[in-house]
């Protein structure tokens, strides 16, 4: 029995930090959150095939949770860890700056 999870797609304008928390929760529910560590850092108890499957599953979750404009910026990344890192680099600093701006108001 599969579960359907719906979260607002990340557009670059909504809260990146909250979006990350929600996506990580989905990855945990799908038993693939460890893929965020990178294939080489996943537990040694997993076979290479299991690691690749976990990566692909997590990658597809993230892809489906991104708006087209954001996906274009990270689509060439082949691992979920690389995509997650690139998203952080692109949007985390903007999110922190935005929060600081809101605090000043």
Query: How high is the mean pLDDT of the chain?
Result: 89
Distances (CA, A) of 69 to 6, 9, 24, 25: 19, 11, 21, 23
Q: Is residue 7 domain-resident?
A: no
In angstroms, the CA 70 to CA 91 distance is 10
For the cut 70, the answer to whether the pLDDT of residue 91 exceeds it is yes
pLDDT tens-place string over residues 17-45: 999 999 999 999 999 999 999 999 999 99
Q: CB atoms < 10 A from the CB of 24, how many?
A: 14
Q: Kindly report the pTM of this predicted structure.
A: 0.82
Token pair recorded at residue 26: 């989905």
Please state the domain count of the chain. 1
The domain of 96 spans: 16-104
Backbone angles phi, psi at 90, to 5 degrees: -80, -35
Q: Is residue 4 domain-resident?
A: no
Q: Is residue 11 domain-resident?
A: no
Q: Is residue 97 domain-resident?
A: yes
């Amino acid at each position: 029995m599969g579960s359907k999870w719906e979260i607002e797609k990340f557009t670059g304008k909504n809260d990146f930090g909250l979006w990350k928390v929600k996506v990580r929760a989905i990855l945990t529910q799908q038993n693939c959150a460890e893929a965020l560590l990178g294939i080489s850092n996943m537990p040694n108890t997993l076979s290479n095939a299991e690691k690749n499957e976990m990566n692909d599953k997590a990658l597809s979750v993230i892809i489906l949770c991104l708006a087209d404009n954001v996906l274009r910026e990270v689509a060439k990344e082949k691992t979920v860890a690389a995509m997650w890192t690139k998203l952080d680099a692109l949007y985390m600093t903007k999110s922190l700056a935005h929060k600081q701006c809101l605090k000043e108001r």
